Amino acid sequence: VSVLEMDGQFDRLDELIYVESHLSNISTKFYGEVTQQMLKHAEFPGSNNGTGLFQTIVGLKIRDLYEQILSSKASATLQASKV
């Protein structure tokens, strides 16, 4: 188990990129997506600290799960149409 503890805010872009580069299995589609999403929604509460980072990662995991569900439903529909 790895634990990530954050205290304070991201003051510089390179700090956020550094943290993102040390995370794995966060369901991003490309390197820098977490940073991009946090910058895109900079006006949201907590967007420049650990809360925003956690919310962004959770959002990416939910997107990944949603895409897996859609994929499995599409696969089941395709197999049913072959029968």
Domain membership flag for residue 5: no
pLDDT in tens, 14-36: 888 999 998 989 999 999 999 99
Q: pLDDT per residue over 24-79, tens digit each?
A: 899 999 999 999 999 998 888 888 888 889 999 999 999 999 999 999 988 888 78
List, in order, residues 6 or more apart from 54 with CB less than 8 Å away. none
Domain count, the chain: 1
**Is the residue at 33 inside a domain?**
yes
Of 29, 38, 33, the residue nearest 6 (C-alpha): 38
**Tokens, residue 10:** 């991201």
Whether the model clears a pTM of 0.95, i.e. scores above it, the answer is no
Count the alpha carbons within 13 Å of 4 in the hemisphere toward its beta carbon.
13
Amino acid 68: pLDDT: 96
Q: Is residue 4 in some structural domain? A: no
Asked if the structure places residue 9 within a domain, the reply is no
Residue span of the structural domain in which 64 resides: 16-78
